Amino acid sequence: MVNWLVIGIGDITRKRVIPAILAEPRSQLYGVVTRDPRKAEAYLGTQVWTSLDDALQDAGIHAVYVASPVALHAPHTTASLRAGKHVLCEKPVGMDYPEARDMVAAARECRRLMGVSYYRRLYPKLMRARQLMLEGAIGQPVLAEANCHGWLDITNRGWLVVPAMSGGGPLYDTGSHRIDVCNFLFGRPLKATGMRSNAVHRLAVEDCATVMIEYAEGVRGVVDVRWNSHVARDQFRVIGTEGELKLDPLNGPVLRHPGGEEQLPAHANLHYPAVENFVNAILDGAPLACPGEEAIWTDWVTATVK
């Protein structure tokens, strides 16, 4: 049994992370850290702390889910690792690449697991797409295109538009997920460049960003993310010399490829497979779906976007 401490009771933890822990058969919601203990009243029998330092003194905690704003990922993750806990951290890893790299180094030094919740890696259709590419279904992959567009919505997450807390706008929020999908499919990025700007909203963070990434064997990825379009888009496709993989919408079940069309829906709770995978890694030594060592390459890419 893995006893979990969850840092932060916000939108994601209430809707996905805590329900995933409660549903996972070898997990227990042991405690939460929140500035407002009233938010924890729904979780009967769960210990509540307002101080992470105090919580980490409890030897009964095995794993920590870090769901605080991005600016707190590094201090919260590092403190948890040094207290002997395994850590599953929300994305992106840190505020910048050096900070993310230091978090991975701390995990290695403490001999504890550090994973990152890039849960799309566990989408059945994304794993199938990678398999099809390896089998040569589209020939040599040459281009991946990802678009995630929508209108700015910071309901219950006002910190997203404060750069000192979030690091950036859609580049860090939805863009990091798409960049990690490209890294999952094509490996470590070799080069990256990009631009971010404020085309519509006058914010302290960008309202749009476009990234171009180069991978081995000539593959390029283009990721465009926006908070300035009323036309919602969630597009992803991989073009090869002999065909293409269409995953539109990325969060939907459909995968189209030269051999036909497959329906491969994700779990009803998108965070559940990530929590399950982390528990399996702790208890059974299973490989992490997204270890920190791989996740930090998204931070490396975002650092190049000006």
User: Rounded to an integer, what distance in angstroms lies between the CA atom of residue 285 and that of residue 275?
Assistant: 14
Percent of the chain, pLDDT > 70?
A: 100
pLDDT band for position 266 (50/70/90)? very high
Residue 277 has pLDDT above 90, yes or no: yes
User: Rounded to an integer, what distance in angstroms lies between the CA atom of residue 302 and that of residue 282?
Assistant: 30
User: Rounded to an integer, what distance in angstroms lies between the CA atom of residue 66 and that of residue 109?
Assistant: 19
- For position 154, what pLDDT does the model report? 84
pLDDT band for position 155 (50/70/90)? confident
Residue 13 has pLDDT above 80, yes or no: yes
- For position 253, what pLDDT does the model report? 98
| CB distance 280 to 73 below 8 Å | no
- For position 168, what pLDDT does the model report? 96
Q: Please give the order of strands across the beta sheet that includes 2-7.
A: 47-49, 27-33, 2-7, 63-66, 86-89, 114-116
* Cis ω for the linkage preceding 92 (within 30 of 0): yes
Rounded to an integer, the average pLDDT of 153-176 is: 93
Which of 39-43, 103-107, 289-293 bottoms out in mean pLDDT, i.e. has the lowest?
Answer: 39-43
Q: Considering only CA atoms, which of 291, 255, 1 is closest in space to residue 130?
A: 255
- For position 156, what pLDDT does the model report? 76
Residue 276 has pLDDT above 80, yes or no: yes
What is the enclosing helix (H) or strand (E) of 100? helix 97-110
- For position 124, what pLDDT does the model report? 98
User: Rounded to an integer, what distance in angstroms lies between the CA atom of residue 269 and that of residue 305?
Assistant: 32
pLDDT tens-digit profile of 86-134? 999 999 999 999 999 999 999 999 999 999 999 999 999 999 999 999 9
Question: CB within 8 A of 100, min separation 6: which ones?
Answer: 74, 92, 93, 94, 292, 295, 296, 299
- For position 259, what pLDDT does the model report? 97
- For position 157, what pLDDT does the model report? 81
Question: CB within 8 A of 131, min separation 6: which ones?
Answer: none
**214-233 as b/e: b if 16+ CB within 10 A:** ebeeebbbbbbbbbbbeeeb
Q: Considering only CA atoms, which of 198, 71, 25, 9 is closest in space to residue 17?
A: 9
In sequence order, what DSSP letters do the residues of 193-247 get, joined into one string? Answer: EEEEE-SS---SS-SEEEEEEE-GGG-EEEEEEESEEEEEEEEEEEEESS-EEE-
Is the entire prediction scored with pTM above 0.75? yes
* Cis ω for the linkage preceding 253 (within 30 of 0): no
pLDDT band for position 135 (50/70/90)? very high
